[in-house]
Structure 1
Amino acid sequence: MTRAVDFLYLLSWAGSVGADSLTVKVLGSPLIVREGEDAVLPCLFLSPDTNAESLEVKWYGVQETLVHTYLDHKDVLDAQIDKYKGRTSLFQEELRKGNVSLQIRGVRISDKGSYSCCVISAKQMYCDKLELHFPETFEISMQWAAIANSLLVPVIVIAALCCCIRKLTKETLKKQNENVEAEKKALQKENERLGRENERLGKEKQDLQKKNETLAIEKQTAQAEKQDLQKKNETLAIEKQTAQAEKKALQKENERLGRENERLGKETLKKQKENVEAEKQDLQKKNETLEIEKQTAQAEKKALQKENERLGRENERLGKEKQDLQKKNETLAIEKQTAQAEKKALQKENERLGRENERLGKETLKKQKENVEADLKDLRQKTNTVGYVLDREWKLITEPRVKVTPDPDTASPSLTVSEDGSLVRFTGERSEEWPSVVGREGFTSGRCYWEVEVGEKGYWVLGVSTHPHEKSIPEKPEEGYWLVRLVKGKTCRAVSQSGDQIVQLEKICKVWGVYLDHEGGRLSFYNAETRFHIYTFEGSFPGQVYPIFSPGSYDKGPLIIQRVQHT
């Protein structure tokens, strides 16, 4: 920090500070700073109206060492020497006004020396030097300070002297500031003139560069054209020499050919004459031969005329036979169409008779089946075995056995399915709901059979469902459920969308057999241990149905899905 110190204050510190005070000469203005305080090295090369935030500012110290750098709106201190680290800064707010002064915190004796301030723009660079050194004008030695203390100079005299010095210092500073301002304005005008001159020279330089580039391109083009012309001239010279040589060769060849033609002409005329005589003799022989052939042709012509007359009579006969054959073919086509129509009629009749026979056969089989069932019913009533399934029927029911596996992903949270899928157990809190799980396998056609062991459980539900994603069975199911439900271990009901019906059980059934005939629209339940029929749903199943199981929510006993075994 820059501060002016009066002479009185200087004398009071003379004994303890002495040579530790530093003076900074800034544009001819001395500054006095005590060691350890802050010093501001002013740099006022810019006018107050100039914004220095976008310029580059460099401060150099003793032996041109880098003290501080400002670039791209920030301080760049990577190359700063160690002794100034953390001690230098610019006044950020003053940069807008053109003030690039440097502050050095905690001035040391080693900071003494010359400092340079450089301001760099895109077009020019301006530098000036400052001095940071021991005071000369205001230096007071330790001896004079001791004498002053020993002589006890009156305070009034010292104060008066201080005032005089202060006044002189102010006037000197004022004049120096005025000189600095005048020099500053002159430098600004000179900088502006140099800037305009630089711009003009830059434009002229660019114009000259463009002209040089254009001339260079034209020169290269001319050289290339010259080289092409030289190559063409060389080629033409070679072609001219070749043409002259060929011309001489042709002339020699023409002379040789002329002599050869003259020689051949004489030989050719002689040969032609001989050939004409030979051809004349050949023509005479050919004329004689043609006369003979003409006579022969006339004889053959007469023979051909006779043959043509015979063939004409033969064609007339064949035409009549052809007409007769066409009439016969038309008659046969009509007979063929009639036969095909009769054949189709016979096929339709055979198909009708086949369907009639099939219908009669089904009716006969149905009547036979009804008679057999009536006989079986009578027999069962007489033997007290109503509902018992005979061996042949039981084999037909259990033959399409399938493996049914409950799908844990469809199970209610209150149910647990074993890893092998053979056990379904209620493990939740007791409630009024019927938690359920459906099988992985869905059925869309055919017949299938599976068995479930319910044991002594008092609550359970078995059957099929068209709802694979519901995790509980409604108390009163609507569409898509065909179920048998046991409540309190004694009331068994058949439940579907058509209603709720009580199923009479002659005895407790521990293993239930479930038989599904999808196409026949039948879902039957059997006592798998005694082979007695219990109940059958009749109707139709829309689409895919899934086996469904519920162990209820009143006891922990499991439902056991068993493998099918014939007895």
Structure 2
Amino acid sequence: MEDKWSSCSCFILLLFQHVSVSRPENYEVLGPSDPVVVAAGEDVVLPCFLKPNISAVDLEVRWFRKDFTEYVYLYQNAKNISTNQIPSYKDRASLFPDELKKGNVSLKLKGVQSSDSGRYKCFVQSPESHDDWSINVIIMGTQSVISIERDGGRGISFMYELKSWYPDAEVTWLDSEGQNLKTEYSETHRSGDGSLSLRGRVIVQERDNNRFTSRVLQKQLGLLREEVVEISGEMFHHAYPWKVAFWCLLSAFALTVMAFLISCKKMKRKNAQLQETRARLNTTKARLSTMEARLSTSEVQLWQTEARFSTTEVQLRQTEARLSTTEAQLRQTEARLTDKEAQLSQMQDHISKILDFEVNLKNAVDVTLDPDTAKPELIISENGKEVTYRGNNQNLSSNPLGLNDFGFYDLRFDLYRLGVLGKEGFTSGRHYWEVMVGKKTEWALGVVGVTDGKEYESSWGIGLSQGRYQAFSKHCMNLYVNKEPEKVGIFVDYGERQVSFYNVGAKSYIYSFFDLEFKEELYPFFIPPLKRDEDNLAPLIITPVQDPE
């Protein structure tokens, strides 16, 4: 009873672990729909979360701009990948490692710059699914710097300077009634880091209400910032230096208060985010408690299911035995079908080759041996149709033709010392001729490419040596010949780049070279047997081609 309880407890623990670490195949990546606005030089967090709140520790998290392969930050295989990271974000972009297991994939940027403005995309991928969310970031510039000075008899002049990263910022001065004031001059300067600075000067005269407004408009997104400057009437009559300094200090104080209010607003926003995160954590804890209760209830059901599984296992074993028998029968049937298909394929191939052979007979040409290419050891008949060897073969090796099994073979060596070429060369068309080899135990036939300098280049042929039939070009390959040929047919199709060999007596196919590169003029070549025994005394004979019956 204790062993059974122990095995059940282990099974429950494994089930609990599976439920704890599993994640749904589908999830959503969510973030803010409104742009994230931040002042230049400050840090910013681009919020992004997974729904449901699954762990992102084993997922791929990629933040990028326009190019997917050049990223702002890449988290992959549980670590940061910096191979193709955009250099300007190195050491400035990061995630929150402790928050990944809660589904928080937010990006933190330190010291934002003008180049950081624009759209960012958060891409999260698992083996089963992927999703993304886009966030627009707007970089706010610094506050305006305004100086006040007396301008002779024309009134008071405002010298202003706006350091901003607005790509299309526009400055307008208004009086207390909302009327535009004429700008004395204005200029725009873009620094090396891409920031935009606006400078200008406005001259105003005394009014009933000496209240003036500086308005900065970012036209692309409709962002508006206003600053109000009030001047007492005495300044228009007595523009003493200490008063000018006083108003400058007052403006600076107003800017400081405004910056403090912005900081308070940011702190309030962060506190709200922290409270939201705590609420999500409490919700997760409640869900875990509910799951524990369900597992306790499932314990009884597992005991009942175990008995049903035992019965099902016996039935499965019986079914597997029947399936094994059926599979063996299917394999035997497939083997028989494969053999039948192979036999049918051989028959079709043999019939095709015989038909090709009879068609090739219509391309017969008259081939004559060229005595100028023969060595003194060879005897050429007067009609140029026969060649035999008359030399002494005592110094020849046991393999006089130099053929070997699938090894490198240079036919030019044997042609120079043993062979003879035909007079007729081919540079186009189809050509067929036949050669009587009889019962000889060694010979070689085929074609060779000859350059303008009478040099032998590529060659293709078949031959018999040491009881083996072989095809050779740059390498040798053993051939299976069902019936030994006494007369060999050679067919050359220059246009189709093909050289084929046939057993004329059996009207059967021997071997073909396909997809060849014919760069030179092709000549037939003949290498007679070098042995002088009874089987090899007769010459190689070029015979007339008989028309098919």
Q: Fold-level match, TM-score > 0.5?
A: no
The structure with the greater share of residues assigned to helix is 1
State the TM-score, normalized to the length of structure 1.
0.30
State the TM-score, normalized to the length of structure 2.
0.31
Larger radius of gyration: 1
